[in-house]
Amino acid sequence: MNELATQVKVLIVDDQPLIVEELGEFLTNHGYICICCQSSRDAIDQFRDDPDISLVLCDLHMPDYDGIELVRALKLIAGKDRLFEAIMLTGRADKQDVIKALREGFADYYQKPVDLNELLEGLQRQELSLHEQQKSLQQLGHLNQKLQYLAESIDHLYQDLDKVRQRPPLAPPADGPDEPEGDEMPAIIQHLSPRQLDVARLVGKGQTNYQIACELGITENTVKLYVSQVLRLTHMHNRTQLALALSPSGSGLRQRATAH
């Protein structure tokens, strides 16, 4: 039995009851869940009500809607987010009909009387194709989420840059910077933006870029950009020097840095 067979439902559509019954019984015995319909209108209702239907077997020539019109209607219901594959069954293999059906989106076609084993193999191929398409769709969704997250992080970064540009430069104190007392903010970082201050404080605590990213809810790459800005604005050469400058014993280093 095909391991993927139980993951999808098959919609079987034919206006001949005996064909619907034969196909339904055969595919059910091979592990598929089958929804059998004898009209296109019924098939449309079933497809709309059951989002788990992923494979469609339908006759080409039927009353109301033919197979091509049926699949066109199902595609409208499915939209962009729901995946399904359709296989056409036909008793009259007219070349133009087959070409039209394939252009409309049918994955394959079989001429009646259908070789059931060949049909089973064809269904399994389309099922595997659906599985791969679903994986690609999920990966694309994850990628879009990451891109959105990155865009938001960059937007925050530019907002902080704008705040820094809008602030007037601080004049150095006449007698040199005072020593920070307790939790008082060192003069060396007073002109940083709020997000830059957050990053600087966490660097001062010895946290890694990954730890800072987790705590602030931003990406590691964004943290690297902030660290680079902080080092440039404070005239520090590396994050170790910055951490020492923010420590209680780093007063001499802060004085040298603010003197630049």
Is 228 found in the same domain as 133? no
User: Is residue 136 domain-shared with residue 174, that is, in the same domain?
Assistant: no
- State whether 109 and 176 are in the same domain: no
Is 149 within a domain?
no
* pLDDT of amino acid 259: 43
**Which residue numbers in the chain have pLDDT < 50?**
1-5, 176-183, 251-260
Domains held by the chain: number: 2
Q: Are the C-beta atoms of residues 191 and 258 closer than 8 Å to each other?
A: no
Please report whether residue 79 resides in a domain: yes
Q: Containing domain of residue 207, as a range?
A: 167-258
Rounded distance between C-alpha atoms, residue 173 and residue 179, angstroms:
12
Same domain, 9 and 134: yes
| Buried/exposed code over 77-105 (b: 16+ C-beta within 10 A; e: otherwise) | ebeeeeebbbbbbbeeeeeebbeebeebe
Does the residue 155 lie in any domain?
no
Is the pTM for the entire model greater than 0.85?
A: no
Residues 14 and 119 in one domain: yes
Residues 103 and 42 occupy one common structural domain: yes
The reported pLDDT for the residue numbered 33 is 95
The residue whose two tokens read 């049909």 is 119
What is the residue-averaged pLDDT of the chain?
A: 80
pLDDT of 260 reads 45
CATH of the domain at 247: 1.10.10.10
